[in-house]
Amino acid sequence: MAVQNGKDLLIKLDMTGDGTFETIAGLRATRISFNAETVDVTSLESQGGWRELLAGAGVRTASISGSGVFRDANTDERARQIFFDGEIPGFQVVIPDFGIVEGPFQISAIEYAGRHDGEATYELTMASAGALSFVAL
């Protein structure tokens, strides 16, 4: 993969539940991480004493985070509504020249901050809440 522009990593939210995704406005930094727990099945018979793992048995998770400034009342309001109502809507993460990850996420944290001489900012953290799909670009 060639060098990519960081601003092209987008977090998109299904605003109305109809599968139409809209980029969360005002984000300055975004991040997605994937994790898989391992299941250790090492025994006395493991060759050479090496650890053995059970393929496909662990829990897989993904987390998304983003931070930015307020730019768009619609996406700001929708993110707050999702958090306070405990909704688990669909999100998309567009990873340039790699693919699109899509699936249900729960907003697990939302933080607001501001300085007396600067803009108001926010941070979102989301945790996967079901099966995710990946489509290569």
Torsion of the alpha carbons at 135, 92, 61 and 67, rounded to the nearest 10 = 140
Residue 1 has pLDDT above 60, yes or no: no
> Tens digits of per-residue pLDDT, 38-92?
999 999 999 999 999 999 999 999 999 999 988 777 888 888 999 999 999 999 9
Residue 59's φ and ψ, nearest 5 degrees, are -80, 130
> Tens digits of per-residue pLDDT, 94-127?
988 889 999 999 999 999 999 899 888 999 999 9
Q: Which CATH architecture has domain 6-136?
A: Roll (2.30)
Count other C-beta atoms under 10 Å from residue 109's C-beta: 11
Q: Are 89 and 116 in contact (CB under 8 A)?
A: no
Domain ranges of the chain: 6-136
Q: Are 90 and 126 in contact (CB under 8 A)?
A: no
In angstroms, the CA 134 to CA 15 distance is 20
For the ranges 1-5, 12-16, 104-108, 121-125, the maximum mean pLDDT occurs at 104-108
In angstroms, the CA 13 to CA 90 distance is 6
Residue 7 has pLDDT above 80, yes or no: no
Residue 66's φ and ψ, nearest 5 degrees, are -155, 155
Amino acid at 122: Y
